[in-house]
């Protein structure tokens, strides 16, 4: 095989997972009434504790202080509404206590306990939309999406103007894969509350999933107009720009997202991809470094950094990254291919003889079979690795090539994988040598029998 005339660039671009988008956008904003944007917001946490104790007037004062810090905190607004409804007698005080207890349990990760508390709030106030909303959140967190949607339906019935309920139902529909329904719900949330930045943001993510990047850009821009300090909206718009090939605009938005949120791993990863596509591997590599530092188990980040290293001629580092990617994701075919390109660029196998070649085969063949678990192996038994071949650069003996064949066949047989073999290559100075090699391959198959 001829060397490539120039390095081959392979980039994996990633759209944020639906559940990931939901967690970033809503579950960090308002999971139950305890979903605070800032889990260390002292005023909010103190208000929550007071609500659990039934001290609603004091809780209201703390929530109002929290809103002075950030008037856009919808989770605080939700909590303030519960406290005010209890104070005004619009809901039973006991129901409010259960809502705050559910919120406290949710913050501690006790989602089954939160579900129980929210259910008791529903039982106490069966027409209170907020109770259904937060029980729906608890159902989402315990993996019961259908029940969550049912509760969000009730919240909308009991309060048709409840923008939060439409948003939550939209997110649940995204989890179910119902993108059109989700977009309809996000649109309803925007209509009920035109200042709802998260509704624009989530609709933008849904449009990206549908491939409608222009509408996505419009929604992310709307979210930024409402809240210029919203890092997720800049990231989302950067992703949409990248999908349209507007990489300079993508870099600008990813950079803004990072300025607003220093540990925004997806923004570092996205900016690294944009730089790589632009051929700025010197800038891509530091971004991939940071993404890996923040999320060490990201196989795609290792893969793309490996390609940046490879294209930059830093082959040892590239091989290390591709190897790590295959360890994290054993069926990542791109990493195996790119590692092979790096090895070839290094000339690692040139002039290799039986011992070195077969040593790599003994290690890599089991790894590949176990990583991919194929139902059938198509084995091309090339004769050109032979030392006497006029085109090949390897130095295997006929015995080494026969051992190669037996190694592949035995590893497949051990795993019960059938093999279909073909002959390939062979440009020995003496054609009889090529015939001997191909005949050896045929004999290896014959000795394995028809079951192989």
Q: pLDDT band at 332, cuts 50/70/90?
A: confident
- The confidence band for 452, taking pLDDT boundaries of 50, 70 and 90, is low
Write down the pLDDT at residue 237.
Answer: 98
Confidence of residue 449 (pLDDT cuts 50, 70, 90): low
Model pLDDT for residues 174-189, shown as the tens digit of each residue: 999 999 999 999 999 9
Q: Mean per-residue pLDDT for 148-163?
A: 96
Q: What integer pLDDT is reported at residue 44 of this predicted model? A: 83
- Token representation of residue 241: 């720009």
The DSSP code sequence of 212-240 is -HHHHHHHHHHHHHH-TT-HHHHHHHHHH
Question: What mean pLDDT comes out for the span 150-179?
Answer: 96
Handedness of CA 45, 50, 56, 61 (dihedral sign): negative
- pLDDT over threshold 80, residue 130: yes
**Cα separation, 306 vs 299, whole angstroms:** 10
Contact (Cβ atoms closer than 8 angstroms) between residue 234 and residue 228: no
Q: Summarize the confidence of residues 299-325 as an average pLDDT.
A: 94
Residue 73 C-beta-side C-alpha neighbours within 13 Å: 26
Quick one: pLDDT at residue 137? 93
The pLDDT, as a whole number, for residue 352 is: 67
- Pick 177 or 452 by higher pLDDT: 177
Q: In the structure, what pLDDT confidence band is assigned to residue 5 with cuts at 50, 70 and 90?
A: very low
pTM (global) more than 0.85: no
- Going by pLDDT thresholds of 50, 70 and 90, the confidence category of residue 43 is confident
The per-residue DSSP string of 101-144 comes to: HHHHHHHTT-HHHHHHHHHHHHHH-TT-HHHHHHHHHHHHHTT-
Greatest mean pLDDT range, 219-223, 363-367, 438-442: 219-223
- pLDDT, one tens digit per residue, over 58-86 is 999 999 998 888 787 878 888 999 999 99
Handedness of CA 328, 332, 337, 338 (dihedral sign): negative
Q: Is the pLDDT of residue 436 over 60?
A: yes
Share of the chain above pLDDT 90, in %: 67
Check: CB of residue 380 under 8 Å from CB of residue 360.
no
- Decide: 80 and 63 in contact? Cβ < 8 Å: yes
pLDDT at position 360 is 81
Reported as a single tens digit per residue, the pLDDT across 247-256 is: 999 999 999 9
As a whole number, mean pLDDT of residues 79-104 equals 94
Question: Beta partners for 419?
Answer: 377
| Residue-level length of the chain | 452
Average pLDDT over residues 229-235: 96
CA-derived radius of gyration, the chain: 30
Tally of CA atoms within 13 A in the half-sphere of 209 that contains its CB: 19
**Residue 447: Cβ within 10 Å count:** 11
Residue 390 buriedness (CB in 10 A; 0-12 / 13-18 / 19+): exposed
Sign of the CA dihedral running 297, 298, 303, 309: negative
Which long-range contacts does 78-81 make (Cβ < 8 Å, 24+ apart)? 78/30, 78/33, 78/130, 78/164, 79/33, 79/34, 79/44, 79/47, 79/48, 79/51, 79/103, 81/130
**Position 15 pLDDT exceeds 70:** no
Which residues pair with residue 396 across a beta bridge?
Answer: 386
pLDDT of residue 414: 93
């Amino acid at each position: 095989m001829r060397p490539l005339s120039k390095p081959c660039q392979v980039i994996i671009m990633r759209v944020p997972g639906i559940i990931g988008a939901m967690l970033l956008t809503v579950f960090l904003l308002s999971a139950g009434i305890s979903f605070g944007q800032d889990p260390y917001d002292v005023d909010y946490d103190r208000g929550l504790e007071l609500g659990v104790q039934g001290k609603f007037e004091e809780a209201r004062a703390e929530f109002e202080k929290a809103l002075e810090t950030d008037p856009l905190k919808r989770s605080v607004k939700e909590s303030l509404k519960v406290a005010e409804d209890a104070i005004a007698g619009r809901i039973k005080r006991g129901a409010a206590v259960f809502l705050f207890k559910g919120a406290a349990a949710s913050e501690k990760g006790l989602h089954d306990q939160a579900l129980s508390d929210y259910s008791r709030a529903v039982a106490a106030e069966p027409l209170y939309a907020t109770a259904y909303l937060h029980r729906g959140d608890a159902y989402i967190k315990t993996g019961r999406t259908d029940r969550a949607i049912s509760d969000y339906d009730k919240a909308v019935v009991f309060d048709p103007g409840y923008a939060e309920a439409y948003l939550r139902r939209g997110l649940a529909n995204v989890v179910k894969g119902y993108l059109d329904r989700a977009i309809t719900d996000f649109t309803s949330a925007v209509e009920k509350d035109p200042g709802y930045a998260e509704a624009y943001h989530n609709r933008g993510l849904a449009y990206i999933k549908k491939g409608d990047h222009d509408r996505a850009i419009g929604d992310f821009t709307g979210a930024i107009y409402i809240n210029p300090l919203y890092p997720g909206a800049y990231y989302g718009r950067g992703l949409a720009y990248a999908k349209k090939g507007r990489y300079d605009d993508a870099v600008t938005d990813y950079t803004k997202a990072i300025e607003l949120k220093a540990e925004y791993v997806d923004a570092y990863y996205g900016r690294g991809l944009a730089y790589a596509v632009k051929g700025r591997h010197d800038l891509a590599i530091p971004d991939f470094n940071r993404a890996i530092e923040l999320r060490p188990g990201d196989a795609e980040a290792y893969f793309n950094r490996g390609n940046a290293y490879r294209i930059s001629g830093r082959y040892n580092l590239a091989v290390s990254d591709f190897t790590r990617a295959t360890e994290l994701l054993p069926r990542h075919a791109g990493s195996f291919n790119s590692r092979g390109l790096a090895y070839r660029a290094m000339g690692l196998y040139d002039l290799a003889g039986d011992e070195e070649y077969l040593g790599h085969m003994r290690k890599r063949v089991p790894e590949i079979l176990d990583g991919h678990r194929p139902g059938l192996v198509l084995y091309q038994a090339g004769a050109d690795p032979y030392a006497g071949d006029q085109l090949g650069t390897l130095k295997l003996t006929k015995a080494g090539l026969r051992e190669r064949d037996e190694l592949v066949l035995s590893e497949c047989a051990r795993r019960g994988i059938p093999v279909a073999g073909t002959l390939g290559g062979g440009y020995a100075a003496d054609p009889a040598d090529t015939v001997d090699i191909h005949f050896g391959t045929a004999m290896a198959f014959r000795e394995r029998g028809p079951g192989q």
